[in-house]
């Protein structure tokens, strides 16, 4: 199974680019973030013509996540409150459309758009840390359900200095502060592994280039788009890549797709 993640920064604005990439890359599942469209306006038809089905959670102009799959999607769960109905913070933190998951061929595919946080002095920074703490509680329930987990998305955090183009200057700031990194590590815990780092330990690999200051032309990027795998899936992962090509398009998203390949056979797993 090939699972991809891409912050498209408006699915309708970049629909032609997304469709072209789907035709070229042929993922089984594409997880989109920052779709920026209300559900009733989502462009289902363009994906259905390619043999994909869409499960969405959107809002006008901001946020929004979607699962695009040519495999059947079951037990769709939207928002934190899908697994945390009694959690006092989950309903409020689910108002922004940032969480969607489905069971696809026996794998729980969880698609996230983690808040950016804006700046260390912003109220949005506190919201980001609250959101990550709620994600930790959400994943505790998910683990109890027992499904193998592929968690993907725009995490808006460079986990380590090797994930930043200028760690000396950027470490300690937004998306690279100690509280953000520590919160992400708590979320990952001992259970989840960074799929990209299973295959590529070196620095110099980015998934996001700021539109400002010629970051793309200077290759001054960050690796903030991640795919995390539970142990059952780590054992069958055969590769994980960042496809920089779409970032060079005219009027591109500022993010590049990330894709993992899994040699997964649900029937074999059930027989074991």
**pLDDT by residue (tens digit) across 163-193?**
999 999 999 999 999 999 999 999 999 999 9
CA nearest 35: which of 130, 122, 153? 153
Q: Are strands 62-69 and 74-78 parallel, antiparallel or unpaired?
A: unpaired
- Indicate which residues carry an active-site annotation: 113, 154
Give the CATH number of the domain where residue 113 resides.
Answer: 3.60.10.10
CA nearest 68: which of 89, 81, 83, 52? 52
Q: Encode burial over 109-129: b for 16+ CB neighbours within 10 A, e otherwise.
A: bbbbbbbbbeeeeeeebebbb
Quote the domain boundaries for residue 244.
2-271
- Rounded CA gap, 40 and 29, in Å? 22
pLDDT of residue 270: 58
- For residue range 227-265, what is the model confidence (pLDDT) as tens digits? 999 999 999 999 999 999 999 999 999 999 999 999 998
- pTM exceeds 0.95, yes or no: yes
Whether the CA torsion 145, 149, 154, 159 is positive or negative: it is positive
Which residue is listed with tokens 């973030």?
33
CA nearest 79: which of 96, 63, 60, 104? 96
147 contacts 107 by C-beta, under 8 angstroms: yes
pLDDT of residue 268: 61
pLDDT of residue 266: 72
| Proportion of the chain above pLDDT 70, given as a percent | 98
Q: How many domains in the chain?
A: 1
Assess whether pLDDT exceeds 60 at residue 271.
no
- Beta bridge partners, 56, equal 66
- Rounded CA gap, 86 and 127, in Å? 20
pLDDT of residue 213: 84
């Amino acid at each position: 199974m090939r699972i991809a993640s891409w912050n498209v920064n408006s699915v309708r604005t970049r629909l032609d680019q997304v469709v072209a990439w789907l035709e070229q890359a042929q993922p089984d599942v594409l997880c989109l973030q920052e779709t920026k469209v209300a559900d009733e306006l989502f462009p289902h038809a363009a994906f259905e013509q390619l043999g994909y089905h869409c499960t969405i959670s959107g809002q006008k102009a901001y946020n929004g996540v979607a699962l695009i799959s040519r495999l059947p999607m079951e037990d769709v769960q939207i928002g934190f409150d899908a697994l945390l109905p009694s959690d006092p913070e989950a309903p409020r933190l689910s108002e922004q459309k940032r969480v969607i998951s489905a069971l696809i061929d026996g794998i729980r595919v969880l698609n996230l758009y983690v808040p950016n946080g804006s700046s260390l002095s912003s109220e949005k920074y506190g919201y980001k840390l609250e959101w990550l703490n709620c994600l930790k509680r959400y994943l505790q329930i998910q683990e109890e359900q027992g499904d193998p987990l592929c968690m993907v998305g725009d995490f808006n955090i460079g986990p380590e200095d090797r994930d930043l183009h200028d760690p000396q200057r950027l470490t300690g700031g937004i998306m690279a502060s100690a509280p953000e990194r520590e919160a992400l590590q708590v979320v990952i815990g001992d259970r989840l592994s960074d799929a990209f780092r299973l295959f590529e330990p070196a620095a110099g690999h980015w998934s996001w280039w700021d539109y400002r200051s010629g970051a793309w032309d200077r290759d001054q990027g960050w690796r903030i788009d991640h795919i995390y795998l539970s142990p059952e899936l780590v054992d069958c992962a055969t590769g994980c890549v960042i496809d920089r090509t779409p970032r060079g398009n005219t009027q591109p998203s500022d993010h590049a797709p990330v894709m993992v390949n899994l040699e997964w056979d649900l029937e074999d797993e059930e027989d074991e």
